[in-house]
Amino acid sequence: MTEQQVKNYIGGTLVPAHSGLWLDNYNPSNGQVYSYIPDSNAEDVQQAVEAAEKAFPPWSGCGAQERYRIMNSIADLIAERREELAQAESMDSGKAIGTSRSVDIPRAEANIRFFATAILHFGSESHHMEGVAVNYTLRQPIGVVGCISPWNLPLYLFTWKIAPALAAGNCVVAKPSELTPMTAFLLSKICLEAGLPPGVLNIVHGLGSKAGQAIVEHPKIKALSFTGGTATGRILAATAAPMFKKLSLELGGKNPNLVFADCDFEKAVSTTVRSSFANNGQICLCGSRIYIERPIYEKFRDELVRRTKALKVGDPFDDKTDQGALVSKQHREKVMGYLALAKKEGGTILCGGEPIDPGGALSGGYYLSPAVAEGLPNTCRTNQEEIFGPVVTLQPFDTEEEALALANGVVYGLSSTIWTSDIGRASRIAGRIQAGIVWINCWLLRDLRTPFGGVKNSGVGREGGTEALRFFTEAKNVCVRY
Ligand code: NDP
């Protein structure tokens, strides 16, 4: 095997899977296998857990300042290799290089720096019983924790989990998606260079159903932070709950955008193009159901369609590309299946939804033109199920109450966006909308200190800022009698 081999990172060394087996890793821009990843199983996970257990006492005991120092060196190396990592991310996921350069890699660096610093400011409570005693809370690392992340924002979401876990003093067994393992592999090399002690972070590559499941089932892994689909989250919870593991689940979404007639039209329409199709619609925070107040329905629809048609789909490595390839052949088939369903359910596809062949070396890639549909009832499957691709639906509404009912009429509740110049109305809706995140007159404006997560079938628990540090620590009350 002369092509690139991704290796597991276990106990500070880069190793193949015990099984000696490899999985093909595809380049979505041309549909070709370009590297191989270890097909890991429970044996590899066991070795990773043993390495993590050994590393835990010194890592949890070395002090926040030392953990900050090493993590900051990791962030420095990510910054130095920004371009190499961005190229690798686009090769692995098919996303446009501009997105990797401006979103994925800078955010991965920011995640590590943010939590490296946050741990230096992480306080805990004390409760005074006047004249009797004082209670203080210790927030102690849990031990060995598991982090499992998806393919849509590979290094971005991987670091969003491992950074707070490590900063809080835990040792980690982590698995990136088998579809996008490359930047996690490059990160393991960076960790070696930065002097992260062996076993503090272990990365096991392979299939979710095998390597991922072995992490979830391992009795020594006491907490699991998972981002992925709702169906997978259900499997995880079923396995982990009877073992009394701490669980953080960031799951699927079907996010609404509410566009009122009094909005700043230009800002609303230009941001809606982005919130619909950024990263090919493969961001859990993309708005996929767009509700438009009737007086501006046609105007907004026509402008959105015009701008969607102008998006350039093609070579992820061309700076001018807006939309690269979808992550896999199966995923493109799934998205196209939903477009066929939308037609069956009575919808009209106003633009897009066609496979695109850029020709030449890119002929085998998984390209799809971004699609806008209308004429579908809120209750149909197209409007109820997560598509997670470049597809949005439009529906008109007449009143605030109706808009809210439509927005809340799904099983998901991750994020939402409200466009209006009436701040009273925006605040009213923000209070009543069923979502963990509400953006008013903006989208994807992120402050890493804020709580991040969903309600209903979009997840359990919150990430971000102190929420993540609390998740990755156990609170212990100490009562001192005077
Ligand atoms: P999946 O649920 O298929 O996979 C997520 C991760 O879980 C992958 O690493 C996967 O491995 C692994 N996995 C799969 N089965 C198991 C199992 N039985 N035990 C342990 N691990 C397992 O999600 P996708 O990768 O397809 O990601 C897309 C989904 O993620 C969408 O639903 C999206 O909404 C959601 N998401 C949610 C976010 C949020 O913050 N709420 C953010 C980003 C995405 P492998 O890929 O190797 O099978």
Best mutation site among 41, 151, 386 for ligand 1, i.e. most ligand atoms within 8 A of its Cβ? 151
Q: How far is CA 187 from CA 11, 162, 192, 434, in A?
A: 15, 11, 9, 36
At residue 4, what are phi and psi to the nearest 5 degrees? Answer: -55, 130
Contacts of range 383-386, beta carbons closer than 8 Å, 24 or more positions apart:
383/254, 383/289, 383/410, 384/254, 384/410, 384/411, 385/254, 385/338, 386/229, 386/230, 386/252, 386/253, 386/254, 386/288, 386/412
Contact between 173 and 47 under an 8 Å Cβ cutoff? The reply is no
d(CA 289, CA 258): 9
* pLDDT on residue 1: 40
d(CA 374, CA 230): 26
Contact between 123 and 469 under an 8 Å Cβ cutoff? The reply is no
Query: What residues line ligand 1, using a CB cutoff of 6 Å?
Result: 148-152, 157, 175, 177-179, 207-209, 212-213, 216, 227-229, 232, 235-236, 250-253, 284, 386, 388, 414, 454, 458-459
**What does the block give as tokens for 430?**
């923000």
Neighbours of 204 (CB within 10 A): 26
Beta strands in 260-341 (DSSP E): 287-293
Do the strands 255-259 and 8-10 form a parallel or antiparallel pair, or are they unpaired? unpaired
Contact between 228 and 108 under an 8 Å Cβ cutoff? The reply is no
Best mutation site among 104, 232, 414, 458 for ligand 1, i.e. most ligand atoms within 8 A of its Cβ? 232
d(CA 431, CA 453): 16
pTM above 0.95, yes or no: yes
CA of 150 to the centre of ligand 1 (A): 4
Nearest to 213 by CA among 200, 201, 224: 224
Contacts of 471 (CB under 8 A, 6+ apart): 164, 223, 225, 246, 248, 461, 462, 463
Contact between 24 and 5 under an 8 Å Cβ cutoff? The reply is no
* pLDDT on residue 72: 98
Catalytic site positions: 250, 284
Contact between 272 and 444 under an 8 Å Cβ cutoff? The reply is no
By alpha-carbon position, which residue is closest to atom 9 of ligand 1? 177
Instruction: Compute CA 32 distance to the chain's CA centroid, rounded to the nearest angstrom.
Output: 25
Give the three-class secondary structure for 233.
Answer: helix
By alpha-carbon position, which residue is closest to atom 19 of ligand 1? 213
By alpha-carbon position, which residue is closest to atom 35 of ligand 1? 228
By alpha-carbon position, which residue is closest to atom 13 of ligand 1? 208
Give the three-class secondary structure for 350.
Answer: strand
Instruction: Compute CA 220 distance to the chain's CA centroid, rounded to the nearest angstrom.
Output: 25
Contacts of 372 (CB under 8 A, 6+ apart): 276, 301, 304, 305, 308, 349, 350, 351, 352, 392, 393, 394
d(CA 219, CA 254): 34
**What does the block give as tokens for 452?**
């991040």
d(CA 161, CA 203): 13
Structural domains present in the chain:
2-251+458-481 (3.40.605.10), 255-447 (3.40.309.10)
Contacts of 452 (CB under 8 A, 6+ apart): 250, 436, 437, 446, 462, 463, 464, 467
Q: In what order do the strands lie in the sheet with 133-141?
A: 126-129, 133-141, 473-481
d(CA 233, CA 98): 31
CA of 58 to the centre of ligand 1 (A): 32
* pLDDT on residue 369: 98
Best mutation site among 24, 40, 148 for ligand 1, i.e. most ligand atoms within 8 A of its Cβ? 148
Nearest to 239 by CA among 269, 218, 210: 218
Give the three-class secondary structure for 479.
Answer: strand
Angle between helices 64-80 and 182-194 (to 10 degrees): 120
* pLDDT on residue 3: 55
From the CA of 230, give the closest atom in ligand 1.
32
User: Helix, strand, coil % (nearest 5) of the chain?
Assistant: 45, 25, 35
By alpha-carbon position, which residue is closest to atom 38 of ligand 1? 284
By alpha-carbon position, which residue is closest to atom 30 of ligand 1? 228
* pLDDT on residue 290: 98
* pLDDT tens digit sequence for 378-387: 999 999 999 9
Give the three-class secondary structure for 305.
Answer: helix
Helix (H) or strand (E) holding 208: none
From the CA of 233, give the closest atom in ligand 1.
2
Give the three-class secondary structure for 226.
Answer: strand
**What does the block give as tokens for 292?**
């438009």
CA of 326 to the centre of ligand 1 (A): 16
**What does the block give as tokens for 412?**
């998901």
CA of 149 to the centre of ligand 1 (A): 6
- The length of the chain in residues reads 482
Contacts of range 85-88, beta carbons closer than 8 Å, 24 or more positions apart:
85/155, 85/183, 85/186, 87/317, 88/182, 88/183, 88/186
From the CA of 229, give the closest atom in ligand 1.
32
Do the strands 8-10 and 13-15 form a parallel or antiparallel pair, or are they unpaired? antiparallel
Give the three-class secondary structure for 477.
Answer: strand
From the CA of 250, give the closest atom in ligand 1.
41
By alpha-carbon position, which residue is closest to atom 6 of ligand 1? 150
CA of 410 to the centre of ligand 1 (A): 20
pLDDT < 50 stretches in the chain: 1-2
At residue 243, what are phi and psi to the nearest 5 degrees? Answer: -95, 5
